[in-house]
Chains A and B, each alone.
Chain A
Amino acid sequence: MFSVVLFVLLGAFVYFFWGGFRQSVHMLQLNSYYPERFLQWLKGQQRKEAIYVMVAMVITSLSLRYGSMSLYLYLIFHAVIFFVVALIRKKQPDKKPLVYTWRLKRLMVTAALICIAFILGLGVLFRATFWWELPFLLAFLNLMVHTIVIIANFFNGPIEKRIAKGFTDDAKRILAGHPGLKIIGVTGSYGKTSTKHLISQLLSLDYQVLATPESYNTPMGVVRTIREKLSATHQVFIVEMGAKKPGDIKEICDIVQPHMGVISSIGEMHLDTFHNLDNIIRTKFELAEAVAKEGLVFLNYDNEYIRKQKLSQPVVRYGLGKAGEDNQQLDLWAENIVSGPKGSQFDLCFSDGRIIACQTKLLGKLNVLNIVAAAAVATRLGVEPSRLAQAVSRLEPVPHRLQLLPAGPSYQIIDDAYNSNPEGSRQALETLASFPGYKVIITPGMVELGDQEEEMNRRLGRHAARYCDFIIIVGQNRSPAIMDGARRAGYNESNIYVADHIHDALEKADQLSRDLTEEEGPMTVLLENDLPDNFLDNGQGKQTRRK
């Protein structure tokens, strides 16, 4: 009988505990198992529910055990509390699902062992009254869930490091068995994902290309791509390389040893971890250092920081060029750029005087720059320049980067949700301005810009006021700065709406489109900056390309 009661209590507790535990390991996973980032997230969290339960447990425990209640009833009573609290607590849908990787499972096992050790250890301590203390101990355990997860993560650290090294060695071994493979590293403060995608599409004219998927740009992401995706038929491997601190790029280069490198841009990104611009420049050029002496480095010569660097390897300089100048310092550039709602037209110019007229359905001038980078790589790998015009006209937009999507019957969306740089935002707004009809921006504002954040968001508000008929701001955090910027530009505040979340914002846009008169329409909505990535996946049957 006692074992049944115990079973019920522990069952109810596990059900209760699971909610917080799952959330905790999920957040750790989303923060790539970095305890510092996890703690940062934790700071903003309130553990009201756990504290309430804890307090309730203490009060009831104390009042009940000195009454005349039997132990059985006492334990059952607490089981009910656990169960009811678990039932009524708010459940929030995941933006990104929890993935039960082996690493996560190992973490969960370690955490469970810590929990059991904790209970047993205290059991020895409270030997006489253990069963009476148990509910209280369990509630305390729940309160400490994040600490337990962090401790488990700490214990697993050395094992995980060894396993990761095993994976990395495996990836290196696979690459060593693939001697003909051309490896191209792509890095930059921004534009690297788009550049990678476009290089991949142009090189596919002549080569079997593998690129790191989505925005995988960490050593483990690269290792995983090699181990799971690289096959004997591949001839080119394009590796996106991200960096948050010095040494990050070198770490990836040590694994893949690139033959070519592309540095798409340098700007003041992730200053919180880089501290200063020199560190950023040095880190990005770790890629150039890693490229073999006989290799090639492709440099965006429009970027002043990149232009100043001197390299020992042969260099291909690309850029948008300057109208009316002779662009002598560039090897490949674009001229006569005309951008509009249907994409861009431009002349692709080679230093030998050859000019190829191109048109693309990709939106915005920044994409022209990315195409020039891709064309530079493709031609250096032997793709016949005369075939580029057709290939460029067939380029597909990169998801969430100025990607034009049909939305409702009467409006379309420019999805620029993954953009995270101020210059890109301004250009996105200029692109929006080129569309006819009613223009709306949906944005949560810009984040992770440190001291400059407020000023940048004010500027965003000012630009938005200039180009948009309606402004929808998502969330309260950055709305004052954006609204302030718009107001200073003399914007009519009744045309600003602050939405609670993205679904609210999209609903508002939908409503706006329905209220439009024929003269005002059609409507175009720009989704700008750091929105959650699954905001459109609400079962609309959106057509996407097979990967």
Chain B
Amino acid sequence: MKIQIGIFFGGKSVEHEVSVITAAQTAAAMDAAKYELIPIYITKDNEMYTGAELFDVVKYKDLPGLLSRSQRILLMREKGKIQLLRYPAKLFAQPFIAQLDLAFPIVHGTNVEDGSLQGYFQLHGLPYIGSDVGASACGMDKWVTKCLLQGAGLPVLPGYCFQSSYYYGDPQRIITKLEELYGYPLMVKPVNLGSSVGISAAHDPEELKESIELAASFSDRILAEPMLTNMREINCAVMGDSDYTEASACEEPLSTGEILSYQDKYQGGGKSRAAAAKSSGGGKGMGSSLRKLPADLDIEQEEEIKILAQKAFLALNCNGVIRVDFLLDQEENQIYINEVNTIPGSLAFYLWEAAGKPFRQMTEELVQLALKRQRAQERLIWSNEVNILSGMQWGTKGVKQ
């Protein structure tokens, strides 16, 4: 009897394609002797499909053809078990396709990674890998992340968050406010998008306007923070749950020709919308992009980053594997937590391999963490087993107990 795992990927997100690749990588890494892996591809239209070819990235070149060879499905809870059913049902045919023991969401970005998909599982009572609804929602929202980390006493850059409608009501008011608060240069980000999408730097009022309007085209809420001019980016992954966490090796992402690097994005370039959208792959730290691994850090710095990463994991109440991105201010020699990815690109497997944990073992541990959380939840009281309404007497003068 193999454990039936539904790998959910895709979704209505700017990081749709990255998710397809991560899912295929993960499926290839998992132990086929232990797990029956069922691909569940969510289209950009939020429809769900399953089929044998869906883990084959090459097949996505012809998406309509691929979908026509795949089967659209429904998730259904039946007698305490979660079933995949064929949709639309065929006459005289069993709609049942498979039963799921566990869901593995491998999705990036808004509409999926932000707790939406996790909520879908939660509602079905289907255990799933990774952070729960709350932690996923917090991790996706850069402003909430910043507030939570700050509340936990962890180092973050100051920031100012505002609604785009507030900006359009009186653009000058925001610009003056930001100039008073931080001065230039500034970083402007959409609050709830995958790491680098829609992010740009501003060195003067003109650029600031452009940056805000770029960010506003991706999100209704915008975050501005002072920009560090002499700094490095360091990423570190964390795995575990509230009982136990461990940190991976640290990496330093480097620029490449094709994909926009940290420097390109944050120091002048990459302001056009097209360029920003293109950078979505790079920001997720794909397994194939260029990096220095392990990052060139002195022992104390590395130790501090690893501890901060685990503290951030706990502050957001994460589960499974996350990647924490740091900014290293070279001038002040100060470390800041920049953001948290609750489902990192490639699940940050390369950071774990560098730390001596193979991808396969990592997926094994993720499965156990998900089951452990399910056990912990079952201990809690969720509902009255007895229907209280059945014990009431319904009199003429209303409800009496």
B window 369-394: CB within 8 A of A: 371, 375, 378-379, 381-386, 388, 390-392
Is B3 in contact with chain A by the CB < 8 A criterion? yes
Contact B2 A541 (CB under 8 A): no
Known: A232-B101, A540-B391. A178 touches B384 (CB 8 A): no
A474 to chain B, nearest CB (A): 23
A140 to chain B, nearest CB (A): 42
**Residues of the A chain whose Cβ atoms lie less than 8 Å from the Cβ of B381:** 543, 545-546
Is B1 in contact with chain A by the CB < 8 A criterion? yes
Closest to A230 in B: B1
B99 to chain A, nearest CB (A): 9
**Residues of the B chain whose Cβ atoms lie less than 8 Å from the Cβ of A540:** 386, 391
**Residues of the A chain whose Cβ atoms lie less than 8 Å from the Cβ of B101:** 231-233
Query: What is the size, in residues, of chain A's interface with B at 8 Å between Cβ atoms?
Result: 21
Is A204 in contact with chain B by the CB < 8 A criterion? yes
Is A208 in contact with chain B by the CB < 8 A criterion? yes
**Binary flags per residue of A376-410, CB closer than 8 Å to B gives 1, else 0:** 00000000000000000010100000000000000
**Residues of the A chain whose Cβ atoms lie less than 8 Å from the Cβ of B375:** 204, 208-209
**Binary flags per residue of B91-129, CB closer than 8 Å to A gives 1, else 0:** 000000000011000000000000000000000000000
**Residues of the B chain whose Cβ atoms lie less than 8 Å from the Cβ of A539:** 386, 388, 390-392
Contact B1 A178 (CB under 8 A): yes
Contact A232 B385 (CB under 8 A): no
Contact residue among A233, A541, A546 (Cβ-Cβ distance under 8 Å from B371): A233
**Binary flags per residue of A147-174, CB closer than 8 Å to B gives 1, else 0:** 0000000000000000000000000001
Closest to B391 in A: A539
B98 to chain A, nearest CB (A): 12
Known: A208-B375, A231-B101, A233-B101. A538 touches B385 (CB 8 A): no
**Binary flags per residue of A106-124, CB closer than 8 Å to B gives 1, else 0:** 0000000000000000000
Contact A232 B4 (CB under 8 A): yes
**Binary flags per residue of A173-187, CB closer than 8 Å to B gives 1, else 0:** 010011000000000
Known: A233-B101, A541-B391. A174 touches B385 (CB 8 A): no
**Residues of the B chain whose Cβ atoms lie less than 8 Å from the Cβ of A174:** 1
A204 to B379, CA, bound (A): 10
**Residues of the A chain whose Cβ atoms lie less than 8 Å from the Cβ of B384:** 541-544
Contact A537 B386 (CB under 8 A): yes
**Binary flags per residue of B1-33, CB closer than 8 Å to A gives 1, else 0:** 111100000000000000000000000000000
A208 to B3, CA, bound (A): 12
Contact A233 B3 (CB under 8 A): yes
Contact A544 B1 (CB under 8 A): no
Known: A231-B101, A546-B381, A546-B383. A208 touches B371 (CB 8 A): yes
A455 to B101, CA, bound (A): 54
Contact A232 B386 (CB under 8 A): no
A231 to B102, CA, bound (A): 11
B143 to chain A, nearest CB (A): 35
A225 to chain B, nearest CB (A): 14
**Residues of the B chain whose Cβ atoms lie less than 8 Å from the Cβ of A233:** 3, 101-102, 371
**Residues of the A chain whose Cβ atoms lie less than 8 Å from the Cβ of B4:** 232
**Residues of the B chain whose Cβ atoms lie less than 8 Å from the Cβ of A232:** 1-4, 101
**Residues of the B chain whose Cβ atoms lie less than 8 Å from the Cβ of A545:** 379, 381
**Binary flags per residue of A231-253, CB closer than 8 Å to B gives 1, else 0:** 11100000000000000000000
Contact residue among A204, A396, A544 (Cβ-Cβ distance under 8 Å from B385): A544
**Residues of the A chain whose Cβ atoms lie less than 8 Å from the Cβ of B388:** 539, 541
A window 496-547: CB within 8 A of B: 537-546
**Residues of the B chain whose Cβ atoms lie less than 8 Å from the Cβ of A204:** 375
A341 to B1, CA, bound (A): 46
**Residues of the A chain whose Cβ atoms lie less than 8 Å from the Cβ of B371:** 208, 233
Contact A543 B385 (CB under 8 A): yes
Closest to B382 in A: A546
A445 to B384, CA, bound (A): 32
A545 to B392, CA, bound (A): 22
A394 to B390, CA, bound (A): 32
A63 to chain B, nearest CB (A): 49
**Residues of the A chain whose Cβ atoms lie less than 8 Å from the Cβ of B391:** 538-541
Closest to B35 in A: A232
**Residues of the B chain whose Cβ atoms lie less than 8 Å from the Cβ of A544:** 384-386
Contact B3 A546 (CB under 8 A): no
B250 to chain A, nearest CB (A): 28
A3 to B381, CA, bound (A): 59
**Residues of the B chain whose Cβ atoms lie less than 8 Å from the Cβ of A178:** 1
Closest to B375 in A: A204
Q: Which of A231, A232, A394, A540 has the most CB of B within 10 A?
A: A232
A360 to B379, CA, bound (A): 16
A287 to chain B, nearest CB (A): 25
**Residues of the B chain whose Cβ atoms lie less than 8 Å from the Cβ of A394:** 379
**Residues of the B chain whose Cβ atoms lie less than 8 Å from the Cβ of A546:** 378, 381-383, 385
**Residues of the A chain whose Cβ atoms lie less than 8 Å from the Cβ of B383:** 546
A539 to B388, CA, bound (A): 7
A541 to B1, CA, bound (A): 39
**Residues of the A chain whose Cβ atoms lie less than 8 Å from the Cβ of B3:** 232-233
B308 to chain A, nearest CB (A): 26
A204 to B376, CA, bound (A): 9
A396 to B383, CA, bound (A): 17
A28 to chain B, nearest CB (A): 27
A372 to chain B, nearest CB (A): 22
A540 to B388, CA, bound (A): 7
Closest to A536 in B: B386
Contact residue among A208, A209, A542 (Cβ-Cβ distance under 8 Å from B386): A542
A237 to chain B, nearest CB (A): 12
A177 to B386, CA, bound (A): 37
A174 to B371, CA, bound (A): 21
**Binary flags per residue of A204-225, CB closer than 8 Å to B gives 1, else 0:** 1000110000000000000000
A528 to chain B, nearest CB (A): 24
**Residues of the B chain whose Cβ atoms lie less than 8 Å from the Cβ of A537:** 386
A177 to B33, CA, bound (A): 12
Closest to B383 in A: A546
A404 to chain B, nearest CB (A): 16
A537 to B386, CA, bound (A): 8
A546 to B384, CA, bound (A): 8
B118 to chain A, nearest CB (A): 19
A390 to chain B, nearest CB (A): 9
A-B contact sample (9 more), CB < 8 A, given A204-B375, A537-B386, A546-B378: A174-B1, A177-B1, A231-B1, A233-B101, A233-B102, A540-B386, A541-B384, A543-B385, A545-B379
A-B pairs, top 9 by smallest CB distance, nearest first, are A539-B391, A541-B388, A232-B3, A544-B385, A232-B1, A177-B1, A178-B1, A208-B371, A204-B375
Chosen A-B contacts, 6 in total, with CB atoms closer than 8 Å, are A209-B375, A233-B101, A539-B391, A543-B381, A544-B385, A546-B385
Which residues of B approach A to under 8 Å, CB–CB? 1-4, 101-102, 371, 375, 378-379, 381-386, 388, 390-392
